[in-house]
Amino acid sequence: MAISISAMSFRTSVSSSYSAFLCNSKNPFCLNSLFSLRNSHRTFQPSLSRKSSRVRATLLKENEEEVVVEKSFAPKSFPGNVGGGNNGEPPDNSSSNGLEKWVIKIEQSVNIFLTDSVIKILDTLYHDRHYARFFVLETIARVPYFAFISVLHLYESFGWWRRADYLKVHFAESWNEMHHLLIMEELGGNAWWFDRFLAQHIAVFYYFMTVSMYALSPRMAYHFSECVEHHAYETYDKFIKDQEAELKKLPAPKIAVSYYTGGDLYLFDEFQTSREPNTRRPKIDNLYDVFMNIRDDEAEHCKTMKACQTHGSLRSPHTNPCDESEDDPGCSVPQADCVGIVDCITKSVADPNVGRR
């Protein structure tokens, strides 16, 4: 009996010490680590290699740290890597897991087809007009985030879903993309009437498409945004490598200097959900630095969109992980939590308490 009590005390001590380390350390992956530990009993490891679906981004820190951003729903990795969220892995506790894999495969295939189709059109129209292409891309790229916010506000109005972290992060993403757009406008990317007409009309269509997609399947909508951000990353990366010498001779636009180096950078930290606040502070000496930062922003968007593909996994970088266990009725309505409008309506009919706050 004494041995059993001692062993139990030892395990409790180790567990408490490790939890304290996660909450109090400077580890930039504290949030993701907590979420992974909480759900490790119901996840599985992917069996296939994901080397073919990696995006490398150089983050502008003093030591030029290099990170890897992995695409989550690449068809070549199916069925071994078909999930989303922090590890790209879905829960394995559902009897319909096989069906879910095929649904995910269909969703990802449709998203990749749509993305590739738009890329081919842009490649044809903007083969050697870089700033105009970037203006169109940034006009389109900011649309999903306020589309997500629109649907989340609708859910909140019905009492179905209230998640403050999602609203904060998506607004910060929209704010970041808006400044990318302002930079491209200052560089003259919107000089032609045709470019403005094309970008704005695509944006209107994209908004209603994203709202519909997000209402039916948030996972699919987040993956589609990941595909768009991944294409933006690759586009900027290629441009930087091809034009490096010329870009280093040109001055940075004033709006870029103001956004990346001046004022309150709270929103700049907010959309980068895989890192602690204040750990990335860009330098802006010339136009090359501007495009490096825009490219790295797109890599951060990729990681955030991947995390969103696991329902409920998104955490604001400013959220204290040690307070997650506390009941905060202002941030969530657990009994009304749902995925997609069909699930929300079903739960609101089945549970009379849904929608009451």
Torsion of CA 96, 101, 107, 113, to 10 degrees: -160
Six-digit token string for 282: 């860009």
Q: Is-contact 321 22, C-beta < 8 A?
A: yes
Domain ranges in the chain are 103-309
Query: How many Å apart are CA 239 and CA 250, to the nearest integer?
Result: 15
Tell me, what's the pLDDT at 100?
80
Six-digit token string for 239: 């441009």
Phi/psi of residue 54, each to 5°? Answer: -105, 140
Query: How many Å apart are CA 67 and CA 64, to the nearest integer?
Result: 10
Phi/psi of residue 66, each to 5°? Answer: -110, 135
Neighbouring CB atoms inside 10 A of 76's CB total: 12
Beta-bridge partners for 55: 69
Lowest mean pLDDT of 14-23, 285-294, 330-339, name the range. 14-23
Selection from 122-126, 195-199, 326-330, 336-340 with the highest mean pLDDT: 195-199
Which residue from 190, 63, 88, 207 is spatially nearest to 134, judged by alpha carbons?
190
H/E segment holding residue 238:
helix 218-247
Check whether 79 has a pLDDT greater than 70. no
Phi/psi of residue 64, each to 5°? Answer: 50, 55
Q: What is the pLDDT of residues 281-301, one digit of tens each?
A: 999 999 999 999 999 999 999
Tell me, what's the pLDDT at 304?
95
Q: What is the pLDDT of residues 138-153, one digit of tens each?
A: 999 999 999 999 999 9
Q: Is-contact 108 73, C-beta < 8 A?
A: yes
Q: Summarize the confidence of residues 225-250 as an average pLDDT.
A: 95
Cα 224 to its chain centre, rounded Å, is 11
Write the CA distances from 222 to 53, 106, 133, 147, 248, integer angstroms. 17, 14, 23, 11, 35
Superfamily of domain 103-309: Alternative oxidase (1.20.1260.140)
Cα 126 to its chain centre, rounded Å, is 27
Which residues have C-beta within 8 Å of that of residue 281, sequence separation ≥ 6? Answer: 60, 61, 265
Q: Is-contact 283 60, C-beta < 8 A?
A: yes
Q: Summarize the confidence of residues 14-41 as an average pLDDT.
A: 40
Query: How many Å apart are CA 232 and CA 135, to the nearest integer?
Result: 11
Tell me, what's the pLDDT at 92?
46
Six-digit token string for 122: 């842009």
Query: How many Å apart are CA 188 and CA 257, to the nearest integer?
Result: 17
Lowest mean pLDDT of 31-35, 120-124, 353-357, name the range. 31-35
Lowest mean pLDDT of 56-65, 133-142, 289-298, name the range. 56-65
